């Protein structure tokens, strides 16, 4: 066999190169000084190190990206300020108060806060607020109501006094909000979860609530009065809505008592079908009262906040302990939790065998140098000047002259497992 080798000169190879044909292999040989040779070897090994580093990262990235249970985690939380609304402030002929839930509209940089006024001060309504975090923190006077929207039933009429007890609010991507009402178990008024137009406030959709949640005349099952659907949140992809009972259903166990938690149910709705898909068991923390001279005690789960589309949340637990409020934030995961939507009564089964949702304490707000009020709502807010995510909490003043409408702001860092791994591999990533 004949081989023809064309070895170009300066046009193909540098002047210090020549060709050798040996055993059917063409070698291009460069005449290099020892210094240049060592530089070439160093470059080769540097390239190999980069390749060896990148390949595992790409494999790990693919693994975590395709792992459905990859839990996001809040790796840090920092308090960045407090504001309160003036007591008894009147806005467009209504008293601003009873703010029980809040949601953020990133497109318009506005917040929508639902009032739990049962029609005694004004019609059922939500307020549009501006919250200024442009300096990287929240300060007095930087929370301002800008509009009010009255909720209307499908027939265009406002809700009658006592007909609703609106507590939770969550924004969709269709210029609408879902709003939850606790109803009134004592008067056999059912709770509801309805969708309303942002612009007109008119009812659009009603989600079906299973019978086991509805109050009955015998008081043997259903929600407890004022302990129903306080919470409401929608996943970032807008495909699922979650709410939860603030305390246990009557047929599920005891309400919260001193040193005793309560078995709440988290409900998962599919917003593509508007149907209930699953339910999960959430156990509130037991709380020990301190100097409870009044004998009054209340504790429960007033809000949830979806952090991703895989079942990871922030939960807000609030207790009145006789001497002020105890407020705690927990990181929650549905991973591995049992679906209990086919169980009508937890007391009728061995609940010890049911896998509850996982929860981990993120922050006990009593550690802050702040006098806490009746915090009931939370939402992710605007991005801060440094690019970090804000978290907003709001209190329900119950239209009580001794309480306040309090807004607390935090800076949080939300991380995926991949980012946490990269931070460990590359410590300078934090700088």
What is the full DSSP assignment across 96-148?
---EEEEEEETTTTEEEEEE---SSSSSSEEEEEEE--TTSSB-TT-EEEEEE
Closest listed residue to residue 396, CA positions, set 183, 95, 97: 97
The predicted-structure confidence for 364-385, as pLDDT tens digits, reads as follows: 999 999 999 999 999 999 999 9
Residue that wins the pLDDT comparison between 420 and 3: 420
How many CB atoms lie under 10 A from the CB of residue 65? 11
pLDDT confidence band for 4 (50 / 70 / 90): very low
Looking at the structure, give the CATH architecture of the domain made up of residues 75-414. Answer: 5 Propeller (2.115)
User: Which of 12-21, 45-54, 260-269 holds the top average pLDDT?
Assistant: 260-269
Question: Would the pLDDT of 202 be above 90?
Answer: yes
Residues across the chain? 431
- In contact, 344 and 401? CB cutoff 8 Å: no
Question: Would the pLDDT of 26 be above 60?
Answer: no
pLDDT confidence band for 6 (50 / 70 / 90): very low
pLDDT of residue 68: 46
The predicted-structure confidence for 120-157, as pLDDT tens digits, reads as follows: 999 999 999 999 999 999 999 999 999 999 999 999 99
- Judging by DSSP bridges, how do beta strands 275-283 and 263-270 pair with one another? antiparallel
Distance CA 339, CA 265 (A): 10
Question: Would the pLDDT of 281 be above 60?
Answer: yes
Segment 170-186 mean pLDDT:
97
Q: How many degrees, rounded to 5, is the angle at CA 289 between CA 286 and CA 290?
A: 145
Segment 411-428 mean pLDDT:
74
pLDDT of residue 7: 46
How many CB atoms lie under 10 A from the CB of residue 251? 15
Question: Would the pLDDT of 290 be above 60?
Answer: yes
Question: Would the pLDDT of 314 be above 90?
Answer: yes
The predicted-structure confidence for 322-361, as pLDDT tens digits, reads as follows: 778 999 999 999 999 999 999 999 999 999 999 999 999 9
Give the gyration radius of the chain's Cα atoms: 29
Helices (H) and strands (E) in the chain — how many of each? 2, 24
Segment 162-181 mean pLDDT:
97
Tokens of 20: 């050798």
pLDDT confidence band for 49 (50 / 70 / 90): low
Distance CA 95, CA 119 (A): 12
Question: Would the pLDDT of 158 be above 50?
Answer: yes
User: Which of 35-49, 63-77, 237-251 holds the top average pLDDT?
Assistant: 237-251
- From residue 300, how far is each of 97, 116, 129, 325 by CA, in Å? 21, 17, 26, 12
Segment 305-315 mean pLDDT:
97
Tokens of 43: 């470059």
258 by Cβ neighbours in 10 Å (0-12 / 13-18 / 19+) ranks as middle
- 3 state SS of 30: strand
Tokens of 255: 């309400």
Question: Would the pLDDT of 47 be above 70?
Answer: no
Return the domain boundaries, the chain. Answer: 75-414
pLDDT confidence band for 427 (50 / 70 / 90): low
Phi (first) and psi of residue 49, to 5 degrees? -65, -40
- In contact, 338 and 355? CB cutoff 8 Å: yes
Residue appearing with tokens 């008894």? 88
Residue that wins the pLDDT comparison between 422 and 300: 300
pLDDT confidence band for 362 (50 / 70 / 90): very high
How many CB atoms lie under 10 A from the CB of residue 236? 12
How many CB atoms lie under 10 A from the CB of residue 76? 12
Question: Which of 36-45, 82-91, 158-167, 216-225 has the weakest average pLDDT?
Answer: 36-45
Distance CA 400, CA 117 (A): 12
Closest listed residue to residue 96, CA positions, set 84, 80, 105: 84
Distance CA 97, CA 400 (A): 9
Kindly state the DSSP code that residue 294 receives in the 8-state scheme.
Answer: S
pLDDT of residue 46: 67
Task: Please give the mean pLDDT across all residues of the chain.
Answer: 87
pLDDT of residue 37: 55
How many CB atoms lie under 10 A from the CB of residue 388? 16
368 by Cβ neighbours in 10 Å (0-12 / 13-18 / 19+) ranks as middle
Question: Would the pLDDT of 20 be above 80?
Answer: no
């Amino acid at each position: 066999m004949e081989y023809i080798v064309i070895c170009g000169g300066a046009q193909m190879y540098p002047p210090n190169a020549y060709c050798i044909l040996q055993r059917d292999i063409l070698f291009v040989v460069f005449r290099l000084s020892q210094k240049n040779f060592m530089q070439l070897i160093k470059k080769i090994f540097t390239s190999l190190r980069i390749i060896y580093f990148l390949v595992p990262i790409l494999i790990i990235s693919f693994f975590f990206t395709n792992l459905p249970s990859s839990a996001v985690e809040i790796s840090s939380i920092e308090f960045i300020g407090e504001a309160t609304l003036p007591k008894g402030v009147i806005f467009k002929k209504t008293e601003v108060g009873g703010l029980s839930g809040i949601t953020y509209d990133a497109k318009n940089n506005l917040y929508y806060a639902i009032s739990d006024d049962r029609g005694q001060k004004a019609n059922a309504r939500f307020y549009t607020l501006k919250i200024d975090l442009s300096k990287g923190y929240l300060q007095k006077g930087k929370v301002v109501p800008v509009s009010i929207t009255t909720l209307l039933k499908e027939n265009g009429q406002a809700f009658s006094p006592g007909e609703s007890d609106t507590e939770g609010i969550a924004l969709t991507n269709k210029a609408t909000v879902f709003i939850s009402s606790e109803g009134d178990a004592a008067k056999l008024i059912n709770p509801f979860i309805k969708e309303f137009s942002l612009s007109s406030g008119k009812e659009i959709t009603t989600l079906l609530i299973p019978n086991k949640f509805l109050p009955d005349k015998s008081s043997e099952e259903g929600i407890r009065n004022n302990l129903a659907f306080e919470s409401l949140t929608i996943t970032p992809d807008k495909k699922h809505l979650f709410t939860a009972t603030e305390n246990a259903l009557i047929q599920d166990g005891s309400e919260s008592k001193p040193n005793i938690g309560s078995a709440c149910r988290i409900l998962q709705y599919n917003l593509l079908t508007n149907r209930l898909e699953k339910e999960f068991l959430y156990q509130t923390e037991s709380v020990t009262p301190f100097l409870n001279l009044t004998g009054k005690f209340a504790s429960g789960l007033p809000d949830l906040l979806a952090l991703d589309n895989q079942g990871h949340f922030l939960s807000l637990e609030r207790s009145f302990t006789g001497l002020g409020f105890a407020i705690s934030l927990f990181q929650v995961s549905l991973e591995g939790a049992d679906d209990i939507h086919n169980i009508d009564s937890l007391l009728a089964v061995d609940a010890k065998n049911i896998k509850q949702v996982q929860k981990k304490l993120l922050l006990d707000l009593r550690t802050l140098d702040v006098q806490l009020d009746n915090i009931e709502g939370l939402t992710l807010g605007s991005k801060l000047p440094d690019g970090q995510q804000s978290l907003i909490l709001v209190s329900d003043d119950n239209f009580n002259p001794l309480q306040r409408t309090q807004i607390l702001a935090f800076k949080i860092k939300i991380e995926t497992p991949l980012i946490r791994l990269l931070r460990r591999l590359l410590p300078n990533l934090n700088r």
